[in-house]
Amino acid sequence: MALKAAIIMSVISIVMLAVYGADVIAAGPQADQSGKTGFLPMDASTRGSVFGIIPSAMLIASFFITRKEPSNILGILIVIGGGMIIVGTGVILAMQGNQSQDARAVREFGAVLGIGIVIVFLGGLKIKRSRKATVS
């Protein structure tokens, strides 16, 4: 039961991250200065909280609620979600181009990148444990 819930949580997280990424791209590179939003009617901070923090927490939770259950599928989904976070951070930085970044923004991007790396690590750990369990 926990495994099914974790897979559903991971799929929802991936969909939310995809929606977040599409909205950021739709808003364009100058969204912060122009006040323009994408197709979601919310500012960048709210969008990041709802479509960034919640999926990240769900991916981490899906690992921990199934830590004793082997599942390659769940591991792959967690890696995909973490990869989307890492790639999304890179896309946002690339879209901003040469705009000057204050120290707070750099720390935020570093934190998001770190969370993405941790999530990918957890997914890899899940895959490794699942393969070890199927071999035994």
Contact by Cβ (8 Å): 14, 77: yes
Contact by Cβ (8 Å): 69, 105: no
Contact by Cβ (8 Å): 65, 53: no
Q: What is the pTM of this model?
A: 0.87
Q: 48-98 pLDDT, tens per residue? A: 888 889 999 999 999 999 988 999 999 999 999 999 999 988 887 777 766
Per-residue DSSP letter, 35: T
Mean pLDDT across 24-52: 75
pLDDT at residue 33 tops 60:
no
Q: How deeply is 135 buried, as exposed, middle or buried, from its count of CB atoms within 10 A (0-12, 13-18, 19+)?
A: exposed
Q: 94-124 pLDDT, tens per residue? A: 777 666 667 777 788 889 999 999 999 999 9
CA 94 remoteness from chain centre: 17
**What is the domain partition of the chain in residue ranges?**
2-135
